[in-house]
Amino acid sequence: MQQSIKLTMKIKKLDKIHHIAITVDNISQAIEYYTKNFDINILHQDETWGFLEFGNIKLALVLPGKHPPHLAFLKDDAEKFGELKLHRDGTSSIYLQDPFGNYIEYLKDPNESESEFKNK
């Protein structure tokens, strides 16, 4: 007779990085570079910022002084980190620094719930 062993694992819910933002001197030149060298979608482009979609992450292109380079985490409860600022794309967020000086954006997106991405 074969014994059956039942394992119960608790699956940890992981946070999702929504995008990474890097500083560039010229948005259109940066978008030209990235579209020439990678297979991506352009989600937004104007003279102040660009937003690119890769297979596994989004990349924001920002001008110096407009937004800090940062990591943006999708958080349904982003307001618990402070007062959120509404953005032109319908998202809202707050920028804070981690203990090491890196900027973190706590992002709430009405079109994307962090729970949709947990455990995928």
Per-residue model confidence as pLDDT tens digits over 54-63: 999 999 999 9
Per-residue model confidence as pLDDT tens digits over 2-48: 666 666 677 888 899 999 999 999 999 999 999 999 999 999 999 99
56-69 burial by CB neighbour count: b if 16+ within 10 A, else e? Answer: eebbbbbbeeebee
Coil, strand, or helix at residue 27? helix
pLDDT at 118: 43
Residue 89: Cβ within 10 Å count: 11
49, 62 in Cβ contact below 8 A? yes
pLDDT at 88: 81
**Token digits for 46?**
């104007």
**Amino acid of residue 115:** S
**Residues in contact with 119: Cβ distance below 8 Å, sequence separation at least 6, in sequence order:** 11, 13, 14
- Give percent above pLDDT 90 in the chain: 72
Distance CA 102, CA 22 (A): 12
Q: Which domains, ranges and CATH numbers included, belong to the chain? A: 16-117 (3.10.180.10)
